[in-house]
Amino acid sequence: MARLPTAPVAAASLILAYAVAVSTGSRPLGSVVLALGGLWCVQAWRRRHGAQTAAILACVGLGAFVASHLLALAIGAWPAVLLVSAVVAAAAWTQADARMLSA
């Protein structure tokens, strides 16, 4: 059975977390969704590629989360979330998932 790529999970976690926060009006509930997806990805990166890769990609995800809030002021919330989700997915793919496929 093939391993699930982390890029779509990482991106979907950001998108779904924001959707949950907006639709329920509960930012803490959105944070739970984000934390669950993020923790799953960090664990997968650590198991597959080591602690350093996991830490780097976790920092990318955290940075993207912060950047989405700043970008939202300029381009709107949904465009900001979608943009940073694409960045996180690209980072996860290039630094983890593509390496897994080539191994």
Tens digit of each residue's pLDDT (9 = 90 or more) over 27-70: 999 999 999 999 999 999 999 999 999 999 999 999 999 999 99
Q: Would 16 be classed as within a structural domain?
A: yes
- Burial state string for 5-22 with b = 16 or more CB within 10 A and e = fewer than 16: bbbebbbbbbbbbbebbe
Dihedral (CA of 20, 25, 27, 32) sign: negative
| Main-chain phi, psi angles of 19, to 5 degrees | -60, -40
pLDDT at 101 over 70: yes
Q: Would 2 be classed as within a structural domain?
A: no
Q: Specify the number of domains making up the chain.
A: 1
Instruction: Give the predicted TM-score (pTM) of the model.
Output: 0.92
Q: Would 1 be classed as within a structural domain?
A: no
Kindly state the average pLDDT of the residues 73-101.
95
pLDDT number for residue 3: 85
What is the domain extent for residue 93? 7-102
pLDDT number for residue 2: 61
pLDDT number for residue 87: 98
Phi-psi region of 54 (alpha: psi -120 to 50; beta: other; left: phi over 0): alpha
Q: Would 98 be classed as within a structural domain?
A: yes
